[in-house]
């Protein structure tokens, strides 16, 4: 019999926008019998993603209600399966990713990451999965999973069965972030850009998404890989993972709408012929986005991944004549255009081959120490993983 007592990091409404109100506490799961297309998972670990931070800082009512359990980079073991589930069995190790409706035009004809109901299915947490103090209903199914709880009902589409691919708990914990951040960065390079050996790529922002892109660019054999960040230790790790050159933006003011034009010239100067084919922005910081656009060569493409962070405007103040004459391109990217069930095993294989050494930048925390993990993310820690 499954115990319905659950430890979880519960997100409560922030006192002000952006000020997180995460609390580690005991809650009760409403049911332990999964529905026909659900899987009950005993969570082992969950990575903290920037999306958890952004969503958890949004005022009540704008993108769903509080309290709710976030977390969307989960790993764990199957405790029970619904009557229509055949992809996993009780005891199987699983990694968790996004969900999708499976029936809209995009899901059936394109990439599921752009599902027409993506927002409703992944972000809103409308399912009241748990009860908290005083029987307050607690929302779940964030990205189909809500992996910040130690026991969760998971949408079947979020499940990636990794039986036979992982060797024990330590490896399963390590692979937790593969369901979002690492998949997003590596997929953007491999799937969206399909970068080749002749290409020069620039990666702005060296969190897990950016480092996933750096490692994938090396796997693709890209001619030059430029890493851009304002934290020296992250630039150093990027070099260890495959960056051929780095650019430190610590001297630039991220509160401005744009950076001086020196950025583009100095970044181009890092490459012998000055050509940059792809820029991957993982920051969402407008002056960085603008600078990436200016840095691109003719027919270059900016692949925009980072959740927008705006100083005073949502307008990107780029020179349209330069953009038009250079026939440059911009594409917004979700989750690396990846089908998780295909891309996650690919990343696991890369890791085993020594091409995807994610252990260099992952740090584990007990789930009760979530506040410390969030604080450490502001400086040195690139990818914290909470262990239940």
Q: Is the pLDDT of residue 318 over 80?
A: no
The tokens describing 261, both together, are 């034009």
Q: Is the pLDDT of residue 261 over 70?
A: no
With beta carbons less than 8 A apart as the criterion, state whether 95 and 174 touch: no
Q: Other C-beta atoms within 10 Å of 164: how many?
A: 9
Averaged pLDDT, 188-197:
97
Q: Is the pLDDT of residue 354 over 70?
A: yes
- Which pTM does this prediction carry? 0.94
* Pairing relationship of beta strands 200-204 and 224-229 according to DSSP bridges: parallel
The pLDDT of residue 258: 65
Q: How confident is the model at residue 303 (pLDDT cuts 50, 70, 90)?
A: very high
Looking at every residue in the chain, the average pLDDT score rounds to 94
The pLDDT of residue 11: 97
Question: Residue 157's Cα: distance from chain center in Å?
Answer: 17
Q: Is the pLDDT of residue 119 over 90?
A: yes
332-349 residue pLDDT tens: 999 999 999 999 999 999
Looking at the chain, the whole-number percentage of residues with pLDDT higher than 70 is 96
Surface-to-core class of residue 320, CB atoms within 10 Å of its CB (0-12 exposed, 13-18 middle, 19+ buried): exposed
With beta carbons less than 8 A apart as the criterion, state whether 27 and 130 touch: yes
Averaged pLDDT, 147-161:
97
d(CA 375, CA 187): 28
d(CA 227, CA 267): 10
Would you tell me which CATH number, out of the four given (3.30.950.10, 3.30.420.40, 3.40.50.720, 3.40.30.10), belongs to the domain 185-334? 3.40.50.720
Q: How many residues does the chain have?
A: 388
The overall longest dimension of the chain from CA atoms, in Å, is 67
5-179+357-387, superfamily in CATH?
Answer: Medium-chain alcohol dehydrogenases, catalytic domain (3.90.180.10)
Q: Map out the domains of the chain as residue ranges.
A: 5-179+357-387, 185-334
The residues near 292 (Cβ < 8 Å, ≥ 6 apart) are: 202, 204, 279, 281, 302
51-65 residue pLDDT tens: 999 999 999 988 888
The residues near 349 (Cβ < 8 Å, ≥ 6 apart) are: none
d(CA 117, CA 120): 5
């Amino acid at each position: 019999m499954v115990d319905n007592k659950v430890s979880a990091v519960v997100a409560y409404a922030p006192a002000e926008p952006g000020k997180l109100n995460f609390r580690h506490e005991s809650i009760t799961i409403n049911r332990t019998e999964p529905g026909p297309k659900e899987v009950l998972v005993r969570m082992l670990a969950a990575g903290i993603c920037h999306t958890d931070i952004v969503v958890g800082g949004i005022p009540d009512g704008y993108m769903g209600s509080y309290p709710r359990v976030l977390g969307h980079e989960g790993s764990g073991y199957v405790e029970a399966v619904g009557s229509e589930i055949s992809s996993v069995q009780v005891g199987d190790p699983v990694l968790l990713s996004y969900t999708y409706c499976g029936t809209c035009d995009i899901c059936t004809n394109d990439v599921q990451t752009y599902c027409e109901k993506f927002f409703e299915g992944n972000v809103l947490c409308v399912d009241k999965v748990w009860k908290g103090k005083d029987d307050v209903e607690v929302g779940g199914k964030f990205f189909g999973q809500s992996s910040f709880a130690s026991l969760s009902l998971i949408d079947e589409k979020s499940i990636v069965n990794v039986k036979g691919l992982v060797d024990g708990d330590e490896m399963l914990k390590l692979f937790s972030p593969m369901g979002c951040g690492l998949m997003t960065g590596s997929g953007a390079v491999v799937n969206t850009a399909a970068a080749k050996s002749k290409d020069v790529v620039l990666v702005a922002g060296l969190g897990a998404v950016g480092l996933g892109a750096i490692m994938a660019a090396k796997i693709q054999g890209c001619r030059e890989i430029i890493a851009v960040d304002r934290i020296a230790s992250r630039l150093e790790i990027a070099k260890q993972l495959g960056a051929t050159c780095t650019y430190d933006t610590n001297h630039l003011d991220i509160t401005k709408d744009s950076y001086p034009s020196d950025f583009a010239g100095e970044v181009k100067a890092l490459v012998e012929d000055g050509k940059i084919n792809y820029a991957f922005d993982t920051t969402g910081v407008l002056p960085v986005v603008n600078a990436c656009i200016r840095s691109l060569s003719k027919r270059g493409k900016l692949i925009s991944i980072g959740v927008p962070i705006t100083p005073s405007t949502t307008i990107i103040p780029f020179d349209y004549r330069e953009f038009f004459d250079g026939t440059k391109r911009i594409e917004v990217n979700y989750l690396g255009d990846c089908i998780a069930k295909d891309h996650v095993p690919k990343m696991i294989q890369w890791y085993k081959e020594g091409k995807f050494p994610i252990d260099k930048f992952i740090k584990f925390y007990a789930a009760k120490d979530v506040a410390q993990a969030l604080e450490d993310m502001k400086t040195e820690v690139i990818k914290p993983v909470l262990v239940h």
